[in-house]
Structure 1
Amino acid sequence: MHLSCTRRPLLAGTAAAALLLALTACGSGIEAANSTAPRYKLVQPGVITAATQAEQPPFAVVDASGKPSGFAVDLMNESAKRLGVKVQYKTTNLQGILAGLSAGQYDIGVAGVGATPERKKQVAFTTPYYWGFTDVVTLKGGKQNKLPDFDGKRVGAVSGSVQETFINREMSGADLVKFKDQTALIAQLLSGGVEAVVLGGADADEYVKKQPIRIAVEFDSLQGSAFPLPKDGDPELLKDIDAQIDAMIEDGTYIKLYKKYFHDPIARDLIMERPKLAQQLIEHPDLAPTRD
């Protein structure tokens, strides 16, 4: 008798056993339900390989034991937890994150990475999860308070960063000096190797708390910070991470994490990108945007 892979009434005894064997051979829905196929196409099956930075407060900082923390890391960890996948972090610099994603070494970059038009040609991005400011920072005794004050001066930025682009575009009279990471950048500012450095606003706020430096000039950022992923990576992973960030906004988790790391109001540009934030700001008016 020919058995088709269709649903049939339950049979007793040996007939039922025979039918079960036949259904298994046919690849029935039972097999599909118990499938252990990976949910996403990842560098390591079942594990998100994430590239991060060692020194980019408050987005990503790695302690002496190699454990990362920060706003971007917390968002990623919570997203992965909700998606039921593990995250393994690899430490590199900004250029290493972008190059590694393009080379297929990483599944995602977890840091404060500006989603610029140039970078979108190289990698894919989630919707921005943060939108801040661009700060020109000097030593505490500095007298500069406008961009022309830095004409002819050595001004540092991390190589390949959006701050490097800012200097080229808005501070063309300055002498740009590139550094591989923020640790070297701040060290040169403190030692007098450069007269100023350009940082993301949130990063600058963290350094001002710890070092004898000041914010001389502040501008709105031209783009938000987002998680970069490989251009040819799994689109479902990008979509699901975006969905989890929106879910965290709706249930209040995002605001809780934001207040842990930031004191500035949430930017209007970010609310336009993540409109679910508007409802949360009714309950948290202290974070409502105040700058035009």
Structure 2
Amino acid sequence: MNRIPLRRALGALGLAALTAASVTACGGGDSAAGDDFGLAQPGTITAAVTAGDYPFVSPDASGKPVGLLVDLNNLIADRMHLKIVYKTTTVQAGLPGLTSGQYDLMSVGLVASDERKKSVAFTKAIFWGQNVVVVPASSTAKSIPDLAGKRVGAGANSTQEDFAKKKMTTSQLVSEATDGAGVNQLLAGNLDAMVLGSTHVGQIFTEHPGKLKVALTSPQDQPGAEAVNKKLTKFLDAYNTELTALANDGTFLKLYQKYFPNLPYPTQMYQFWPSIQQQIEKQGKPTP
């Protein structure tokens, strides 16, 4: 899935606090139960997060990571009788840290591409989104050809960067450290467009009313999931078991609807979670 910009309300101090801090949530049982998972720190899940992944994970005013994946992973850690600690990094640095054993889990919505599967494993699917090309409100661009020769930004090592490299070959791709940084460059006139994930766009437009608009959208090829160190097969199996339980009992859908109140649950996800399809049908919710 996708990375999401910081809320406007956060100042530099809040971001610095998140970058420097590690936040721990305690599991409900004996942490020694997870010692045989092969985690970087026995009994503790070391989860990498980014500073611009709202509403999956982002810092609150104090710099503490909050969001859908924090709520979800706190629950899963508790059910697995493990502690969990969140450490802030970037996708670009986090994936190598995952393969080296510095982290156990990358708690970011990433598309489980074939290239990424060469170095990391993935949890069961958590989301299916779209790539959205955002331009200044004054722009006349409505298609990929309209952006030929233009400077188009995308988050480094993100699904959106993969999309731009594959589909926007006539544009000049600019790799940005975060979505927030790219949007700032777009607003400053240093970019002509920025590729974002569909879950990010509403927040971006709320933060910058009337300044940006959507030029075009394109469905992602695969669902998003969290990355896991490939060596942690037992941990991944146990994690997926608990994720499945939370999907089947309605907890995951409640979290989704809490953090995405205006975004219908993606019907592409029904193939992975038929129980959620049944829950949606009982609610009588509209589909995309």
Superposition TM-score, scaled by structure 1 size? 0.82
* Paired residue type of 1:217: L
Partner of 1:3: none
Say which SS state the counterpart of residue 135 (structure 1) adopts: strand
Partner of 2:251: 253
Say which SS state the counterpart of residue 221 (structure 2) adopts: coil
Distance (whole Å) between structure 2 residues aligned to residue 208 and residue 215 of structure 1: 10
Distance (whole Å) between structure 2 residues aligned to residue 46 and residue 144 of structure 1: 52
Distance (whole Å) between structure 2 residues aligned to residue 42 and residue 66 of structure 1: 25
The question of 1:239 aligning with 2:266 is answered: no
Let me know the Cα RMSD of the aligned residues: 1.8
Q: Which has the larger radius of gyration?
A: 1
Structure 1 consecutive aligned stretches of length 4 or more whose deviation exceeds 6 Å: none
Say which SS state the counterpart of residue 285 (structure 2) adopts: helix
Query: Among 114, 118, 121, which residue is 1:121 paired with?
Result: 118
Distance (whole Å) between structure 1 residues aligned to residue 43 and residue 197 of structure 2: 33
Partner of 1:282: 281
* Paired residue type of 1:237: F
After the TM superposition, which residues 223-234 of structure 1 pair with which residues of structure 2 at under 5 Å, given as runs?
223-233=222-232
Q: Check conservation: 2:31, 2:83, Cα contact below 8 A.
A: no
Say which SS state the counterpart of residue 194 (structure 1) adopts: coil
After the TM superposition, which residues 202-217 of structure 1 pair with which residues of structure 2 at under 5 Å, given as runs?
202-211=199-208, 212-217=211-216
Q: Check conservation: 1:73, 1:111, Cα contact below 8 A.
A: no
Say which SS state the counterpart of residue 149 (structure 1) adopts: helix
* Paired residue type of 1:83: M
Superposition TM-score, scaled by structure 2 size? 0.83
Distance (whole Å) between structure 2 residues aligned to residue 223 and residue 35 of structure 1: 34
Q: CA deviation at 1:287?
A: 4.8
The aligned length equals 255
Distance (whole Å) between structure 2 residues aligned to residue 48 and residue 107 of structure 1: 6
Per-residue CA distance 1:244-270 (angstroms, 9 max, x = gap): 222122221111111112222222321
Distance (whole Å) between structure 2 residues aligned to residue 106 and residue 244 of structure 1: 20
Distance (whole Å) between structure 1 residues aligned to residue 215 and residue 180 of structure 2: 20
Distance (whole Å) between structure 2 residues aligned to residue 77 and residue 63 of structure 1: 16
Structure 1 stretches lacking a partner, 5+ long: 1-33
Q: CA deviation at 1:202?
A: 0.3
Distance (whole Å) between structure 1 residues aligned to residue 199 and residue 36 of structure 2: 35
Q: Check conservation: 2:126, 2:224, Cα contact below 8 A.
A: yes
Bigger relative contact order, structure 1 or 2 (CA pairs below 8 A, ≥6 apart): 2
Q: CA deviation at 1:163?
A: 1.0
Partner of 1:13: none
Distance (whole Å) between structure 2 residues aligned to residue 149 and residue 74 of structure 1: 41
Q: CA deviation at 1:79?
A: 1.2
Distance (whole Å) between structure 2 residues aligned to residue 132 and residue 112 of structure 1: 10
Say which SS state the counterpart of residue 79 (structure 2) adopts: helix
Distance (whole Å) between structure 1 residues aligned to residue 182 and residue 279 of structure 2: 36
Distance 1:172 1:160, change over 3 A: same
Distance (whole Å) between structure 2 residues aligned to residue 189 and residue 270 of structure 1: 32
Distance 1:237 1:36, change over 3 A: closer
Q: Check conservation: 2:120, 2:230, Cα contact below 8 A.
A: yes
Q: Check conservation: 2:150, 2:172, Cα contact below 8 A.
A: yes
After the TM superposition, which residues 94-243 of structure 1 pair with which residues of structure 2 at under 5 Å, given as runs?
94-211=91-208, 212-233=211-232, 235-243=233-241
Distance (whole Å) between structure 2 residues aligned to residue 121 and residue 264 of structure 1: 32
Say which SS state the counterpart of residue 112 (structure 1) adopts: strand
Per-residue CA distance 1:142-194 (angstroms, 9 max, x = gap): 22222211111100001211111111211111110111222221110111110
Say which SS state the counterpart of residue 37 (structure 2) adopts: coil
The question of 1:272 aligning with 2:234 is answered: no
Q: Check conservation: 2:32, 2:42, Cα contact below 8 A.
A: no
Distance 1:43 1:152, change over 3 A: same
Distance (whole Å) between structure 2 residues aligned to residue 260 and residue 165 of structure 1: 29
The question of 1:93 aligning with 2:116 is answered: no
Q: Check conservation: 1:249, 1:280, Cα contact below 8 A.
A: no
Q: CA deviation at 1:66?
A: 2.9
